[in-house]
Amino acid sequence: MDNINKLNEIESIKLAKTTKDERILAKLLSSPFTTVRRSIAKNRNANVHIINKLAMDPSNNVSYWATRHPNYNNKRLIHSNEPCVLCTIDELQYINTCHTCQLA
């Protein structure tokens, strides 16, 4: 678990999407990558504490999805019409698709 900070963005996204370990998700919360935090916000195994923290993330790309998580229990709901925030492309595909997006 100490090696989490040494993972690159893609490895961190994969871990954030698939882990069921709340300790790992909690460590990934401090990732500088929006894609990693957004992946945590979509992980159904993230607990209430993690999701509530992500709901306050400075990036709408993260907070929007956190407020739609089933474990979110606050009343603050993020609304957005921004195509990048609403984008449903898998975080692992962002690198390949963002620069060619026709919606942004």
pLDDT tens-digit map of 14-50? 999 999 999 999 999 999 999 999 999 999 999 999 9
Residues 6+ apart with CB under 8 A from 39: 13, 16, 17, 91
Rounded CA separation 33/56 (Å): 15
Q: Where are the alpha helices (DSSP H) in 1-104?
A: 9-18, 22-28, 34-42, 48-54, 60-66, 83-86, 94-97
Rounded CA separation 12/86 (Å): 21
Rounded CA separation 50/55 (Å): 9
pLDDT at 30: 94
Report how far Cα 47 is from the mean position of its chain's Cα atoms. 13
Residue 69: is its pLDDT beyond 80?
Answer: yes
Rounded CA separation 20/16 (Å): 9
* More confident call, 99 vs 68: 68
The token duo for 100 is: 């060619």
Q: How many domains does the chain fold into? A: 1
Domain residues for the domain of 83 are 2-100
pLDDT at 36: 97
Predicted structure pTM score: 0.88
Average pLDDT for the chain: 90
